[in-house]
Amino acid sequence: MRHVALTVNGTRHELELEPRELLVYVLRDKLGLTGTNVGCDTSSCGACTVIVDGAAAKSCTLLGVQVDGAEITTIEGLATNGELHPVQQAFHDHHALQCGYCTPGMVMAAVSLIEHGNASSEAAIREGLEGNLCRCTGYHNIVVAVQEAATSIGSAS
Amino acid sequence: MSATEERTSYIGAPVKRREDRSLLTGQGTFVDNMTPTGTLAMVVVRSPYASARVTSVAADEARKAEGVVAVFTAADLQDDWKAAMPCAWPVTEDMKNPPHYPLTETPRYQGDGVAVVLAETRAQAKDAAELVEVGYDAGDAIVDISKALEDGATLVHPDLGTNECYVWRLDTDATGEAIDDADVVVTRRYVQPRLIPNAIEPRAVLAVPGLVDDVTLYSATQIPHILRVLVAATLGMHESKLRVVAPDVGGGFGSKLDVYAEELLAVALARRLGTPVKWVEERSEGYLATIHGRDFVTEYTLGATKDGTITHCRAKVKAAMGAYLQLVTPGVPLLGAWIYGGPYAIPNYSVEFTGVFTNTTPTDAYRGAGRPEATYVIERTMDALADELEMDRVELRRKNFIKEFPHTLASGLTIDSGDYDASLDKLLELLDLGSLQAEQAQRRENAGEKQLGVGFSTYNEMCGLAPSRILGAIRYAAGGWDSATIRCLPTGSVQVITGTSPHGQGHETAWAQIVADQLGCDIDVVEVLHGDTSISSVGMDTYGSRSLPVGGVALWHAGEKVIEKARQIVAHQWEVAADDLEFGEGAFRVKGSPDKETTLAAVAFGAWAAHDLPDGMEPTLEATAVYDPPNFSWPAGAHAAVVEVDTETGDARLVRYVAVDDVGAVVNPVIVDGQIHGGITQGIATALYEEALYDEDGNLQTANLVTYLVPTAFELPSYELERTESRSPTNPLGVKGVGETGTIAAAPAVINAVVDALSHLGVKDIQMPATPERVWRAIEEAKK
């Protein structure tokens, strides 16, 4: 067991982890943050995407012990005081989710894409979301939503 | 939309989904998010061989491993099963249905379960599963459906003496005279690749034992009601002792329309051990353990006169069953059996399906089920026939369209409504074909690397499963009705209980739209409950684009019953004849006296208080309706794909995709568009990317999401959608199904476009998926 300290959605956690535990299972099983979903076992689907120290990361590709000291944001930490983040709001406004299983990862990937200034065009968004699979929407409305969120975040800042 | 706007406008309005909030904030109730205290993790030990006999299972090391509670083999559990795993569709009297149990000693496909391990944590169970030593005597396998029917082929089930599961025919031209008389006959052979559905939520099961010999089964399923019936029957339980819950379910596409070994194992073991048992599929495990789709080989013939009038169609289909028959495996081809003539008026018709066993994961209904397979061969062959006749491919289609509705097909069923020319006209308007053809000509002249192609697919399909009598006539074991209850609560809220089971379709929103319109109430007071057999006890669930045209119509009928009961109450209280009352905008008035009114909500309170009801009337205002559709629903449309093909690398890329669909009346246009977007994408995926491949020994070669290519946003364009609307005359909402149309239409449009891009080089066909290698080889082959 290894001692690890993590800050998740602004709350600091001290944990004793087995070295083999993946971050996604630390979040889900140890911290009860089940919003981050697991969709594959090959790091292909991106459903488990979270933001680690400001950058999107598939939480199935990181060990819990690797992120000692990190600041992590999960889907549960995105809305503030009950108000949806602009990306969440745009997903709702443009029907960018159906079953909702890929959605947490897709939203977190989109948030990071926008924050890093990589959502400037439809082509850039499509390329930027290449690591996230959705089987319901055909991505059409996801791309529309991310474009709108990028615009609204851009004009607000 | 707020209540102050036009009240009658919920139907047809782009109401935003009430489902979204929890899913967008990480509060979804997916099965793996539930872990009651004491839950044991179940892991299945699976055969690595496609055909084998288990000679030994040594589990002592596993049993001693940390956290392990139990290990069970097939022999340990054989008395738990009162029946084999269910197949509900024995399509012929003599269909062969070898029994299959949740664990086996004779695996017949890679992934067949041979043992289970239960431990305190998933990691412990996985570690222990590695310690279970299974001895196998491996045998030969057969994976190719054509070779499986040859003399001397390896047999999947030697005791059957054949790999042929059944032969099923529908024939109006038994003599073949019509085909002999045709001026032009085109016959082509097509391969439908085997597909893996890939709902992004893998399957997951949690069985929780209760205190009175009862069990609650939470499952990522499309069919909680059917599952309850069949799990209870297979385990010999009273149905009353089993509650099935489908919480948030992360997509299905048919892959969660089944009764699976893991559902039966979890319930059986929760009963044995008296503790909750959970199994969560890993993606790569699911590639073996969850049903596949398609895997057909079809020989398709069209006969026509010189002027392009089609006189005959004939399909001879070999359809892979896999190693065993799952819930509706043998019936999948039949779901397309009546539409091998497409949207065309073809007087002579014959189809023949041969179901074939192979040592592969069982197939079953994957999005479209039988209809994409039919539409593909029709629409590819329409292009080939146009070539043969030297006719324009669009005009050939138009010339043969069914023009008048209702139309009884040579295959025997009757199309409810449609206007096929209208969809095609609108498509051509959006497409601007002239400009595309000019650019194509230019590129051909320049002989550059990147050539342009345009492909069409004009389709119809039958969905809205299904009229129960027809299902009975084609030997399906259950009915095709659905049920709805509307309960007007005393404070003005309305409770809706539906027998459909959404897993992404947005029924909570769309059903509320229908009820709020019909009862004239605010949409926010309508709650929609589903997916739990203790709440919605009667239903037939969600698949086959049935939820709206069957379940939604049941809802409408329940609403009519509610209004009628309320009318009797008001007539009694006002001492007027019921016929003198009119109902509109949520209130009753006496005809001609608009000033006096009473709202439905007030009547509901009165019915709850029950102080002043007609003699003999039961208190409360609620009604249940069970609706059995008189016909299938028949969506149709016209799609076009524009592709750019790199003739040096073989890479084919979609440039545009334009679709005009007619799905009848639309309840929520945004949800409908979303269904079409997703459907088209799965059709494009079939055409260009996805294919499950086995080696000759039955090892799945495309064994995970790295080697099986599910397209990402990067591979796809935005879609251009429009609609036409032919209301269905068979139901009061005028609705048809929409869940599968895109998948049914898209694949042939894309392949027709790829072939069109290369036709000047002599390419006439490319097998799906049109990978760079296949495209490149087709170009090289055409040069010879």
Strand partners for B70: B118
* Residue B671 distance to chain A (closest CA, Å): 7
Q: Check CB contact under 8 Å for A98 and B199.
A: no
Instruction: Output B590-598 pairs: Cβ under 8 A, ≥24 positions apart.
Output: B598/B570, B598/B573
Q: What is the average pLDDT value for chain B, to the nearest integer?
A: 97
A133 vs B35, B505, B710: nearest CB = B710
Single-letter code of the amino acid located at B172: T
Instruction: Reply yes or no on whether the pLDDT at A30 is more than 90.
Output: yes
Mean local confidence (pLDDT), B269-280: 98
> How do residues B329-351 score in pLDDT, each as one tens digit?
999 999 999 999 999 999 999 99
Mean local confidence (pLDDT), B615-644: 98
Instruction: Reply yes or no on whether the pLDDT at B8 is more than 80.
Output: no
- List CB contacts (< 8 A) between A95 and chain B: 16-17, 670-671, 673-674
- Smallest CA–CA distance from A28 into chain B, residue: B33
CB atoms within 10 A of CB B90: 17
- Smallest CA–CA distance from B669 into chain A, residue: A95
Instruction: Reply yes or no on whether the pLDDT at B46 is more than 90.
Output: yes
What global pTM score does this model have? 0.97
ω into residue A57 within 30 of 0, thus cis? Answer: no
* Residue A152 distance to chain B (closest CA, Å): 18
Terminal alpha carbon distance of chain A: 44
ipTM of the complex: 0.98
Collapsed DSSP state (helix, strand, coil) of residue B175: coil
The bridge status of strand B215-219 relative to strand B113-119 is: unpaired
Q: Quickly state the pLDDT bin for B3 (edges 50, 70, 90).
A: very low
> How do residues B213-256 score in pLDDT, each as one tens digit?
999 999 999 999 999 999 999 999 999 999 999 999 999 999 99
> How do residues B444-472 score in pLDDT, each as one tens digit?
999 999 999 999 999 999 999 999 999 99
Question: Whole-angstrom Cα distance, residue A17 to residue A3?
Answer: 6
Q: Is the dihedral of CA B390, B392, B394, B398 positive or negative?
A: negative
Q: Quickly state the pLDDT bin for B1 (edges 50, 70, 90).
A: very low
Q: Which residues contact B76 (CB under 8 A, 6 or more apart)?
A: none
- List CB contacts (< 8 A) between A139 and chain B: 677, 681, 712-713, 716
Q: Check CB contact under 8 Å for B251 and A98.
A: yes
Strand partners for B352: B169, B316
The bridge status of strand B184-195 relative to strand B293-304 is: antiparallel
Instruction: Reply yes or no on whether the pLDDT at B261 is more than 70.
Output: yes
- List CB contacts (< 8 A) between A79 and chain B: 25
Residue-level pLDDT at B179: 77
Tokens 């119809």 belong to B460
> How do residues A83-118 score in pLDDT, each as one tens digit?
999 999 999 999 999 999 999 999 999 999 999 999
> How do residues B399-430 score in pLDDT, each as one tens digit?
999 999 999 999 999 999 999 999 999 999 99
Question: Whole-angstrom Cα distance, residue B746 to residue B719?
Answer: 12
Question: Whole-angstrom Cα distance, residue B226 to residue B542?
Answer: 10
Residue-level pLDDT at B5: 45
Residue-level pLDDT at B175: 61
Residue-level pLDDT at B115: 98
Show the 3-state SS of B337-406.
Answer: CCCCCCCECCCEEEEEEEEEECCCCCECCCCCCCHHHHHHHHHHHHHHHHHHHCCCHHHHHHHHECCCCC
* Residue A5 distance to chain B (closest CA, Å): 22
> How do residues B27-43 score in pLDDT, each as one tens digit?
999 999 999 999 999 99
Question: Whole-angstrom Cα distance, residue B380 to residue B370?
Answer: 16
Q: Check CB contact under 8 Å for A101 and B200.
A: yes
- Smallest CA–CA distance from B671 into chain A, residue: A95
* CB interface of A with B, residues 49-88, below 8 Å: 74-76, 78-79, 84, 88
Question: Whole-angstrom Cα distance, residue B506 to residue B523?
Answer: 14
Instruction: Reply yes or no on whether the pLDDT at B648 is more than 60.
Output: yes
Mean local confidence (pLDDT), B584-600: 95
Q: What percent of chain B has pLDDT over 90?
A: 97
Q: Check CB contact under 8 Å for A139 and B200.
A: no
Residue-level pLDDT at B590: 97
Q: Check CB contact under 8 Å for B681 and A38.
A: no
